[in-house]
C-alpha cells in the first residue's frame, strides 16, 4: 500500500514543518495581542508594590518614634521620593533606607516627622501619589492626623 496525499500511517509520529510553522504563527499573533495589556498589568503591580513599600516605611517610622520616645523623620533621598527614602532618628542616625524606584513617579510631602507620641508634627493630612509609566496605574497613600497610613483608591484623604 502506498501513501496518497496527506494520509498518514498509524506508525507515523510527529508534526510536519507546515503544521509547526502554522502553530508558531498563531502563538506569535496571540503574544503580540497580549503584550500591551501585560505591560499595563506589570506597571500597575509596580505602583502597588511601591505604595506598599512607602506604607511599610511610614509604619516603621511611626513605630520607631514610639519605641525610641523621640521624633523620627521619613525623608526622600535628594528631595525626590522616587530616588528612595530614609528613616532617621532625632540624632540623624539612619534606622531604615529604601533604594530608588524605577519607572515610577512618586509625589508626597517634603518629609514626614513623627513625634514620640506617634502623631505627625504637621497639622494636616499628608498624601502620597505613586504613578506608573501609564497614567492608569496610580496608587494613593494617605496619612491621617494620628499618623496612621492607609492606601486608598482616590486622591482624597
CA distances from 133 to 36, 41, 54, 61, 137 (A): 13, 11, 18, 28, 7
**SS3 assignment, position 144:** coil
pLDDT band at 153 (very low <50, low <70, confident <90, very high): confident
Q: What is the pLDDT of residues 24-76, one digit of tens each?
A: 989 888 888 776 777 888 888 999 999 999 999 999 999 999 999 999 999 99
> Is residue 6 in a domain?
no
> Is residue 105 in a domain?
yes
Pair 55, 108: CB distance under 8 Å:
no
- For 91, the grid coordinates are 540624632
Q: What is the pLDDT of residues 95-136, one digit of tens each?
A: 999 999 888 999 999 899 999 999 998 766 789 999 988 767
pTM of the complete model: 0.76
Domain CATH code at residue 87: 3.55.40.10
80-89/72-77 β-pairing: antiparallel
> Is residue 9 in a domain?
no
Task: Please provide residue 33's backbone torsions phi and psi, each rounded to the nearest 5 degrees.
Answer: -75, -30
Amino acid at each position: 500500500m502506498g501513501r496518497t496525499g496527506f494520509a498518514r500511517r498509524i506508525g507515523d509520529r510527529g508534526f510536519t514543518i507546515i503544521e509547526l510553522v502554522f502553530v508558531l504563527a498563531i502563538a506569535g499573533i496571540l503574544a503580540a495581542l497580549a503584550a500591551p495589556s501585560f505591560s499595563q498589568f506589570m506597571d500597575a503591580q509596580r505602583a502597588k508594590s511601591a505604595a506598599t513599600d512607602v506604607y511599610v516605611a511610614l509604619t516603621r517610622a511611626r513605630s520607631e518614634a514610639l519605641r525610641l520616645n523621640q521624633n523620627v523623620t521619613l525623608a526622600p533621598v535628594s528631595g525626590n521620593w522616587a530616588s528612595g527614602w530614609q528613616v532617621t532618628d532625632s540624632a540623624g542616625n539612619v534606622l531604615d533606607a529604601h533604594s530608588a524606584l524605577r519607572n515610577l513617579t512618586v509625589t508626597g510631602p517634603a518629609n514626614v516627622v513623627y513625634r514620640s507620641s506617634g502623631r505627625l508634627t504637621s497639622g494636616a493630612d499628608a498624601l502620597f501619589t505613586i504613578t506608573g509609566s501609564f497614567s492608569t496605574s496610580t496608587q494613593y497613600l494617605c496619612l491621617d492626623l494620628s499618623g496612621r497610613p492607609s492606601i486608598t483608591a482616590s486622591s482624597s484623604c
